[in-house]
Amino acid sequence: MKTNMIHVLLRIAVWVVVFGIGYLLIGPQLFDSSRRANPFESSKQLYLPPVKPQRLIEYEDLLEKRNLEGVEIEEYRALVRERQSNFWKAEGISVEDALAGVKKHRKEHLETLLIERGISDEEAAIFFTVAERDHSALFDDRE
């Protein structure tokens, strides 16, 4: 019975040492399960997607008619990657700034802005899903 108690205490001591080393190496984030420590959590501000380059629009139109070939597909992929990386930089115009003067029908106004930026219907659906989930107050009428 005494040996079982010693084994239990040794196991507890080992786990305390493991968590202690983790705390020293990683810091308090090891024990922080809040949303602010989540690297996938969206930032405080939501930004408009970057304007779609004309060349990318041309490639998308061409893609609806036929398959892209060789250099076309490489350039198309490079343009898509560049546009996506620009969006994830969280730069440019924030949605809050874009809707600053709009008091009513803010969601409809934002939809118009996204269409002007060349966003596809699928991209718009994803954008609004995330915006409504994480930033629903953006769409409230201001009066």
| Average pLDDT for runs of 10 along the chain of length 143 | 83 88 69 53 71 86 86 88 79 81 84 85 85 81 74
CA distance 127 to 118: 13
- Which two structure tokens, joined as six digits, stand for 82? 């560049």
User: 95 exposed, middle or buried (CB, 10 Å; 0-12, 13-18, 19+)?
Assistant: buried
Measured between alpha carbons, how far is residue 139 from residues 5, 49, 110, 120, 130 in Å?
Answer: 60, 17, 9, 20, 12
- Give pTM, 2 decimals: 0.57
Q: Are 70 and 105 in contact (CB under 8 A)?
A: no
The pLDDT of residue 42: 47
The pLDDT of residue 12: 92
The pLDDT of residue 56: 85
The pLDDT of residue 27: 67
The pLDDT of residue 29: 60
Q: Are 117 and 52 in contact (CB under 8 A)?
A: yes
